[in-house]
């Protein structure tokens, strides 16, 4: 479809782009002051600013496509696919609190706060490189989604939408760094939330309102789509209850760890940019809650889209459903406003990943391994150059994305399945060490290849559903990282005590706590339960 | 002793207590409830309104429980933050081994 824009539509788009670039210019002086300002806004933000950034960053151009796809396929029960972000429920009060107290700029840097020696340095280098790559990949992925939206709307070649809007975004990220990102995210978050509500409710009303949707689904014989727990059986079918239970475990218990979700990495930056531990916790909690509410609104709008267009079989066609609700049904003059909101959604994600990738490149690679004595001015400039390189790299990734998507989804899976448990253990178990964590990463690389591709290909095991792969990979990993941890030395007690006193982690830290108490660094716990356990 | 404590000294707030347990238990329930409740509300189902109302009440209760403790933790930690930041900057410059162990 080619949408015809009036002068009023283009006015919305131009005004919005000026607003975004303007925020970069306004905060230029703050962003250039130091590395801490360029990447963490000086660690001084009240909770609602990083919260809006959490929400805005995780509302990307491809998010409505993905959610539309699963709701169109599975009905309301598909909403639980989006529940993975609920890791923030527990994290806000556990791992967010611990991570904020570590003060590490990045998850890679946290490795050398928690662990020490060669193992910790290897982890830092690996994680920093991986995150630079991952951010470039996400930029390409989200950028090409924008290319597809522009191709759908205006008939532009894919590269035009990819290159043009990411480049506009880079202007304020290069100028003001994280200050520009978070201030623009606030505006973008508000605009995106309002427009998502308007378009979704407009779509619901167009489909006949809530009553009309229920009636039409009944006529179509599709009432199961209204049931949020309509699974295909306990163990059978493509959408079993066992999958739902696995998702709940991954999402909810994952909050005890760090890095149990890919979203942890951008969130870690927002956590450190908050001015206090309390602000950090609330920013993660509220930012995620708004995202979950948004998903629910989207889900019902897509049920409306389904009753309007029930017969679609091509994924590429029905994935554009939510966009069609806006472009097909909004009145003239509002279409440009809708497109401006899509730009808001797009720019907020692009800006966050540009700055985050540059943070890993600057702090963990350039400063730590190349130029430890670099001045603040140099570090800000390295941050800018890194941003530019990430931008250019994302164009290349975006344009070759069709060919490499399968490989990269596999790479994401590697990050989730086999290291989910180690990501928790590193937070809650004092004895878990750098070698155990490193072995988990390496073992997971091999096991993932075997379980996902090689063994099913040779008929050794059947092709497993994704939730089955998760449990199998976790069990196989346990067989490696637990022995490695127990057969290698624990981290030095001096280092652990220093970490414990600063971060106060939850879990099995008894020997370290007692040592800290013996050294007089913290007061002994006089609770009856502790007294009983010590007797 | 009351079920929920709302006044804290810095040392007490630094420990993991029953109040943290309440927040950890209530928080996922609030997320689950609002995700489900809002969707059902938009379909005008009465269960949706009930679940949403209960979830909002739980959110208020959870913050009432945990907020005094979070404030106490934050105030105490801010006092030590500058020292910790100095350590972190030394660490990125490979100077951590020059420091004395605690």
Phi and psi angles of residue A274, each rounded to the nearest 5 degrees, phi first: -75, 150
DSSP helix/strand/coil, A45: strand
Q: Tell me how crowded residue B18 is: count the other CB atoms within 10 A of its CB.
A: 11
| Contacting residues for A523 by C-beta, under 8 A, at least 6 apart | A517, B11
> A409 pLDDT band (50/70/90 cuts)?
low
> A465 pLDDT band (50/70/90 cuts)?
confident
Nearest to A414 by CA among A436, A447, A437: A447
Q: Is residue B76 in some structural domain? A: yes
Q: Does the distance separating the beta carbons of A373 and B93 come in below 8 Å? A: yes
pLDDT tops 50 at residue A19: yes
pLDDT of residue A532: 41
For residue A295, what are its two tokens?
């998903």
Cβ under 8 Å to B: A residues 68-127: 76, 79, 82-83, 86, 88-90, 92-94, 97, 101, 103-104, 109, 112-113
- Which positions in chain B touch A103 (Cβ < 8 Å)? 81, 84-85, 88
Q: How far is A464 from chain B (nearest CA, A)?
A: 28
Q: Which domain holds residue B85?
A: 15-97
Rg (CA), chain A: 24
Q: Is residue B42 in some structural domain? A: yes
Ranges of beta strands (E only) in A239-322 are none
Q: How many CA atoms lie within 13 A of A426 on its CB side?
A: 33
Rounded CA-CA distance A461/A458 in Å is 8
The length of chain B in residues reads 102
pLDDT of residue B102: 45
pLDDT of residue B101: 46
Rounded CA-CA distance A274/A51 in Å is 9
Alpha carbon separation from A133 to A128, A358, A386, A432 (Å, rounded): 9, 11, 12, 27
Q: Which residue of B has its CA nearest to A494?
A: B101
Q: Does the distance separating the beta carbons of A83 and B93 come in below 8 Å? A: no
- Which positions in chain B touch A303 (Cβ < 8 Å)? 43
> A31 pLDDT band (50/70/90 cuts)?
confident
Is residue A251 a contact partner of residue A259, using CB atoms and an 8 Å limit?
A: no
Domain ranges of chain A: 7-229+236-403
Rounded CA-CA distance A346/A1 in Å is 21
Q: Does B34 touch chain A (CB under 8 A)?
A: yes
Nearest to A162 by CA among A140, A147, A149: A147
Q: Region A383-401: what's the mean pLDDT?
A: 92
Query: Residues of chain A with pLDDT > 90: what percent?
Result: 68
Is residue A144 a contact partner of residue A163, using CB atoms and an 8 Å limit?
A: no
For residue B72, what are its two tokens?
């106490």
Q: What is the CATH number of domain A7-229+236-403?
A: 1.20.1730.10
Q: Which residues pair with A429 in a beta bridge?
A: A508
Q: How far is A358 from chain B (nearest CA, A)?
A: 16
Q: How far is A142 from chain B (nearest CA, A)?
A: 25
Nearest to A199 by CA among A69, A319, A280, A294: A294
Alpha carbon separation from A89 to A178, A253, B28 (Å, rounded): 25, 9, 5
- Own/partner contacts of A113-116, CB < 8 Å, gap of 24 or more, are A113/A499, A113/A502, A113/A503, A113/B88, A113/B91, A114/A426, A114/A491, A114/A499, A114/A503, A115/A433, A115/A434, A115/A437, A115/A491, A115/A495, A116/A434, A116/A491, A116/A492, A116/A495
Q: Does the distance separating the beta carbons of B30 and A89 come in below 8 Å? A: yes
Rounded CA-CA distance A477/A469 in Å is 12
Alpha carbon separation from A241 to A78, A143, A151, A303, A304 (Å, rounded): 12, 34, 38, 21, 25
Q: Which residue, among B19, B40, B43, would best test binding to A if mutated, counting the most A CBs under 10 Å from its CB?
A: B43
C-alpha dihedral, A27 to A32 to A36 to A37, nearest 10° = -10
Q: Region A305-324: what's the mean pLDDT?
A: 90
Q: Is residue B61 in some structural domain? A: yes
Q: Region A30-40: what's the mean pLDDT?
A: 92
Q: Does the distance separating the beta carbons of B39 and A300 come in below 8 Å? A: yes
Q: Is residue B20 in some structural domain? A: yes
Q: At what angle do helices A466-487 and A434-448 cross, to 10 degrees?
A: 150
Q: Region B8-28: what's the mean pLDDT?
A: 93
> A534 pLDDT band (50/70/90 cuts)?
very low
Q: Region A111-134: what's the mean pLDDT?
A: 95
**Number of residue pairs across A and B with CB atoms under 8 Å?**
125
For residue A257, what are its two tokens?
């760890």
DSSP assignment letter at A508:
B
Q: Which residue of A has its CA nearest to B72?
A: A278
Instruction: State the total domains in chain B.
Output: 1
> A412 pLDDT band (50/70/90 cuts)?
low
Q: Does B70 touch chain A (CB under 8 A)?
A: yes
Q: Is residue B8 in some structural domain? A: no
pLDDT of residue A249: 94
> B100 pLDDT band (50/70/90 cuts)?
very low
pLDDT tops 80 at residue A203: yes
Q: Which residue, among B38, B52, B55, B82, would best test binding to A if mutated, counting the most A CBs under 10 Å from its CB?
A: B38
Q: Does the distance separating the beta carbons of B32 and A297 come in below 8 Å? A: no
DSSP helix/strand/coil, A462: coil
Q: Tell me how crowded residue A531 is: count the other CB atoms within 10 A of its CB.
A: 11
Q: Tell me how crowded residue A66 is: count the other CB atoms within 10 A of its CB.
A: 14
- Which positions in chain A touch B91 (Cβ < 8 Å)? 112-113
Q: Does the distance separating the beta carbons of B91 and A103 come in below 8 Å? A: no
Is residue A343 a contact partner of residue A367, using CB atoms and an 8 Å limit?
A: no
Q: Does B15 touch chain A (CB under 8 A)?
A: yes
Q: 3-class secondary structure for A65-116? A: HHHHHHHHHHHHHHHHHHHHHHHHHHHCCCHHHHHHHHCCCCHHHHHHHHCC
Q: Which residue, among B18, B28, B52, would best test binding to A if mutated, counting the most A CBs under 10 Å from its CB?
A: B28
What single string gives the DSSP state of each residue in B87-98? HHHHHHTT-GGG
Q: Does B102 touch chain A (CB under 8 A)?
A: yes
């Amino acid at each position: 479809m080619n949408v015809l824009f009036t002068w009023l539509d283009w006015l919305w788009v131009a005004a919005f782009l000026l607003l975004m670039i303007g925020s970069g210019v306004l905060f230029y002086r703050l962003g250039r002051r130091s590395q801490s300002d360029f990447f963490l806004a000086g660690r001084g933000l009240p909770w609602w600013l990083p919260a809006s950034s959490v929400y805005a960053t995780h509302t990307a151009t491809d998010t409505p496509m993905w959610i539309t796809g699963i709701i169109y396929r599975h009905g309301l029960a598909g909403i639980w696919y989006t529940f993975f972000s609920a890791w923030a429920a527990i994290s806000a009060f556990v791992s967010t609190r611990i991570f904020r107290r570590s003060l590490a700029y990045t998850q890679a840097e946290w490795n050398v706060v928690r662990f020490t020696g060669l193992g910790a340095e290897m982890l830092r280098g690996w994680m920093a490189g991986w995150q630079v790559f991952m951010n470039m990949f996400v930029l390409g992925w989200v950028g090409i989604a924008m290319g597809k939206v522009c191709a759908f709307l205006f008939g532009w070649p894919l590269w035009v939408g990819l290159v043009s809007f990411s480049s506009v975004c880079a202007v304020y990220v290069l100028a003001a760094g994280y200050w520009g990102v978070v201030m623009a995210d606030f505006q973008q978050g508000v605009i995106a939330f309002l427009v998502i509500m308007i378009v979704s409710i407009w779509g619901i009303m167009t489909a006949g309102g809530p009553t009309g949707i229920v009636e039409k689904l009944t006529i179509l014989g599709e009432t199961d789509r209204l049931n949020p727990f309509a699974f295909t059986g306990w163990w059978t079918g493509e959408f079993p209850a066992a999958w739902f239970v696995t998702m709940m475990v991954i999402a909810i218990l994952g909050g005890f760890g760090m890095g149990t979700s890919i979203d942890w990495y951008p969130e870690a930056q927002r956590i450190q940019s908050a001015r206090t531990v309390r602000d950090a916790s609330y920013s993660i909690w509220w930012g995620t809650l708004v995202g979950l509410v948004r998903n629910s609104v989207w889900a019902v709008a897509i049920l409306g889209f389904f009753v309007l267009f029930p017969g679609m079989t091509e994924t590429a066609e029905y994935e554009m459903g939510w966009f069609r609700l806006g472009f097909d049904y909004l009145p003239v003059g509002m279409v440009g406003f809708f497109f401006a909101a899509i730009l808001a959604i797009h720019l907020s994600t692009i800006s966050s990943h540009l700055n985050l990738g540059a943070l890993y490149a600057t702090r963990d690679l350039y400063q730590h391994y190349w130029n430890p004595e670099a001045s603040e001015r140099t570090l800000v400039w390295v941050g800018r150059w890194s941003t530019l390189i990430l931008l250019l790299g994302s164009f290349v990734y975006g344009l070759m994305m069709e060919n490499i998507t399968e490989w990269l989804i596999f790479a994401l899976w590697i990050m989730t399945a086999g290291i989910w448990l180690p990501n928790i253990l590193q937070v809650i178990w004092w004895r878990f060490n750098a070698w155990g964590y490193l072995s988990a990463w390496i073992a997971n690389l091999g096991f993932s290849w075997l379980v996902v591709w090689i063994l099913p290909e040779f008929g050794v095991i059947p092709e497993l559903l994704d939730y089955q792969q998760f449990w199998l990979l976790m069990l196989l990993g346990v067989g490696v990282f637990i022995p490695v941890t127990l057969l290698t030395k624990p981290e030095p007690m001096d280092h652990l005590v220093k970490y414990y006193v600063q971060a106060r982690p939850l879990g099995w830290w008894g020997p370290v706590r007692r040592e800290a108490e013996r050294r007089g660094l913290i007061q002994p716990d006089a609770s009856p339960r502790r007294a009983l356990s010590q007797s | 002793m009351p079920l929920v404590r709302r006044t804290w000294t810095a040392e007490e707030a630094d420990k993991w207590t029953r109040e943290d347990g309440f927040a950890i238990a209530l928080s996922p329930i609030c997320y689950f409830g609002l995700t489900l409740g809002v969707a059902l509300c938009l379909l005008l189902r009465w269960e949706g309104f009930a679940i949403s109302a209960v979830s909002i009440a739980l959110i208020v209760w959870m913050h009432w429980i945990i907020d005094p403790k979070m404030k106490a933790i934050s105030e105490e930690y801010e006092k030590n933050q500058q020292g910790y930041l100095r350590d972190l900057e030394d660490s990125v410059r490979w100077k951590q081994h020059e420091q004395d162990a605690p």
